[in-house]
Amino acid sequence: MTGHIILAVVTLFVIFILFLVISRTINNMINLLIKIQYLLEKELELKKEALEVRLILMENNKSQKELKVQ
């Protein structure tokens, strides 16, 4: 009977440790996914800004060429 109690306590302890390890791993994965999402959003914003700057520069070049022609 004592052996069964010890086995039950050890099993509960192992399950508790595994739960802690699994929950910490899942938490780390969630944090990494949040970081990836943030970095991807920043990259998208930078690409949009670069495109806007490129379009503005192209418009300025066109207007400068038109001024030179006139």
Least confident of 6-10, 38-42, 49-53, 62-66: 62-66
Looking at residue 50, what is its pLDDT?
97
Residue with tokens 């739960």: 19
Per-residue tokens: 45: 């914003």
Looking at residue 62, what is its pLDDT?
86
The pLDDT tens digits for 16-55 are 999 999 999 999 999 999 999 999 999 999 999 999 999 9
Instruction: Give the 3-state DSSP-derived string for the chain, with helices as H, strands as E and coil as C.
Output: CHHHHHHHHHHHHHHHHHHHHHHHHHHHHHHHHHHHHHHHHHHHHHHHHHHHHHHHHHHHHHHHHHHHHC
What does pTM read for this prediction? 0.67
Looking at residue 39, what is its pLDDT?
98
